[in-house]
Structure 1
Amino acid sequence: MSDAIKHECGLAFIRLRKPFAYYQQKYGTVFYGLNKLYLLMEKQHNRGQDGAGVAAVKLHTEPGVPFMNRIRSSANQPIADVFARIRQEITEVEKYQPEITKYPGLMKGHIRFLGELLMGHLRYATQGKNNEELCHPFVRHNTVPARNLTMAGNFNLVNVDELFNFVKVFPGDTHKNSDLAAMLEVVHHFLAKEDETRDNGLDVKSILQNAFSMFDGGYHVAGLIGSGDSFVIRDPHGIRPSYYYINDDVIVAASERAAIRTSFNVGENEVLELMPGNALIVKENGDYSIEQILTPKERRACSFERIYFSRGNDEKIYKERTDLGRNLSETVLKAIDNDLRHTIFSFIPNTAEVAFYGLIKGLETYLNRIKVERIMSWDKDFDEEKLTEMVNRRVRIDKIAIKDVKMRTFITEDSGRNEMVQHVYDITYGTVQPGVDTLVVIDDSIVRGTTLRESIIKMLDRLGPKRIIVVSSAPQIRYPDCYGIDMSKMGDFVAFQAAIALLKETGREHVLQEAYGLCKELERTNTLHAQNVVRNIYKPFTTQEISDKIAQIITPSGINAHVDVIYQSIDGLHDACPNNLGDWYFTGNYPTPGGNRVVNKAFMNFMEGKNERGY
Structure 2
Amino acid sequence: MCGIIGTVAHNPVNQEIYDALTVVQHRGQDAAGIVTTDGRRMYLRKDNGLVRDVFRTDHMLRLAGNAGIGHVRYPTAGVETSAEAQPFYVNTPYGICLAHNGNLTNAEQLSDELYRTDRRHLNTNSDSEILLNVFAHELMRHVDLELSPSEIFKAIGALHRRCSGGYAATAMIADYGVIGFRDPLGIRPLVYGKRETAAGTDYMIASEPVALDAMGYELIDDIKPGEAAIITFDGQLHVHQCADNPALCPCLFEYVYLARPDSVLDNVYVYKSRLRMGEQLADKIEREWADHDIDVVIPVPSTSRTSALELAGRLGVKYREGFIKNRYIGRTFIMPGQEKRQKSIRQKLNAIDLEFADKNVLLVDDSIVRGNTSRQIVEMAREAGANRVYMASAAPPVRYPNVYGIDMPTAQELVAHGRTEAEVREFIGADRLFYQDIEGLYAAVAAGNNEMNRFEDSVFTGDYVTADISNNYLAQLELFRGESTRASNDADPDNAVLDLHNAE
**Equivalent of 1:325, from 259, 273, 278?**
278
TM-score normalized with structure 1 length: 0.69
CA distance in structure 2 between the partners assigned to 1:328 and 1:184 by the alignment: 42
The superposition leaves residues 117-165 of structure 1 with CA deviations (integer Å, 9 ceiling, x where unpaired) of 21111111223233221111001124xxx52111111111121121122
Q: Which residue in the other structure is 2:164 paired with? A: 216
Q: CA deviation at 1:490?
A: 0.9
CA distance in structure 1 between the partners assigned to 2:404 and 2:156 by the alignment: 19
**Equivalent of 2:67, from 104, 117, 140?**
117
CA distance in structure 2 between the partners assigned to 1:127 and 1:496 by the alignment: 20
| Contact kept in structure 2, 1:489 and 1:612, CA below 8 Å | no
1:397 is the counterpart of 2:268: no
**Equivalent of 2:114, from 149, 167, 182?**
167
The superposition leaves residues 83-137 of structure 1 with CA deviations (integer Å, 9 ceiling, x where unpaired) of 53333x3xxxxxxxxxxxxxxxxxxxxxx43223211111112232332211110
| Contact kept in structure 2, 1:237 and 1:299, CA below 8 Å | yes
Partner secondary structure for residue 55 of structure 1: strand
Q: Which residue in the other structure is 2:464 paired with? A: 590
Q: Which residue in the other structure is 1:229 paired with? A: 177
- Please say which structure displays the higher CA radius of gyration: 1
The superposition leaves residues 323-343 of structure 1 with CA deviations (integer Å, 9 ceiling, x where unpaired) of 111111122235554345x52
Which ranges of 4 or more aligned residues in structure 1 deviate by more than 6 Å? 405-408, 414-420
Cα 1:204/1:347, change in 2 over 3 Å: same
**Equivalent of 1:308, from 252, 257, 265?**
257
CA distance in structure 2 between the partners assigned to 1:403 and 1:78 by the alignment: 21
CA distance in structure 2 between the partners assigned to 1:151 and 1:415 by the alignment: 33
Cα 1:426/1:467, change in 2 over 3 Å: same
The superposition leaves residues 273-299 of structure 1 with CA deviations (integer Å, 9 ceiling, x where unpaired) of 111100002335332211111124332
CA distance in structure 2 between the partners assigned to 1:604 and 1:279 by the alignment: 32
CA distance in structure 1 between the partners assigned to 2:477 and 2:443 by the alignment: 35
The superposition leaves residues 298-319 of structure 1 with CA deviations (integer Å, 9 ceiling, x where unpaired) of 3210111111111112361111
CA distance in structure 1 between the partners assigned to 2:210 and 2:339 by the alignment: 43
| Contact kept in structure 2, 1:128 and 1:134, CA below 8 Å | no
Partner secondary structure for residue 327 of structure 1: helix
| Contact kept in structure 1, 2:370 and 2:415, CA below 8 Å | yes
| Residue segments in structure 2 that go unaligned for 5+ positions in a row | 331-337, 486-504
Q: CA deviation at 1:227?
A: 3.6
CA distance in structure 2 between the partners assigned to 1:200 and 1:474 by the alignment: 46
* Counterpart amino acid of residue 198 in structure 1: L
5 Å matches for 1:12-31?
A: 12-16=5-9, 18=10, 30-31=11-12
Partner secondary structure for residue 127 of structure 1: coil
* Counterpart amino acid of residue 364 in structure 2: I
**Equivalent of 1:157, from 101, 104, 107?**
104
CA distance in structure 2 between the partners assigned to 1:485 and 1:602 by the alignment: 14
1:70 is the counterpart of 2:44: yes
Q: Which residue in the other structure is 2:308 paired with? A: 356
Cα 1:613/1:171, change in 2 over 3 Å: farther
Partner secondary structure for residue 191 of structure 1: helix
* Counterpart amino acid of residue 130 in structure 2: A
Partner secondary structure for residue 85 of structure 1: helix
The structure that is helix-richer by fraction is: 1
**Equivalent of 2:431, from 555, 563, 579?**
563
Partner secondary structure for residue 32 of structure 2: strand
Cα 1:323/1:201, change in 2 over 3 Å: closer
CA distance in structure 1 between the partners assigned to 2:481 and 2:102 by the alignment: 25
Q: CA deviation at 1:427?
A: 1.6
Q: CA deviation at 1:212?
A: 2.8
TM-score normalized with structure 2 length: 0.83
CA distance in structure 1 between the partners assigned to 2:52 and 2:341 by the alignment: 30
The number of residues matched between the two structures is 460
CA distance in structure 2 between the partners assigned to 1:416 and 1:603 by the alignment: 25
Identity %: 25
* Counterpart amino acid of residue 434 in structure 2: I
Q: CA deviation at 1:57?
A: 2.4
5 Å matches for 1:242-321?
A: 242-247=190-195, 248-264=200-216, 266=218, 270-314=219-263, 316-321=269-274
| Contact kept in structure 2, 1:490 and 1:496, CA below 8 Å | yes
The structure that is strand-richer by fraction is: 2
Cα 1:167/1:461, change in 2 over 3 Å: same
**Equivalent of 2:422, from 543, 548, 557?**
548
Q: Which residue in the other structure is 1:25 paired with? A: none
The superposition leaves residues 540-595 of structure 1 with CA deviations (integer Å, 9 ceiling, x where unpaired) of xxxxxx2111101222xxxxxx622101111110111015622111111211033x
Q: Which residue in the other structure is 2:2 paired with? A: 9
Cα 1:576/1:161, change in 2 over 3 Å: same
Task: Give the root-mean-square deviation of aligned CA atoms.
Answer: 2.9
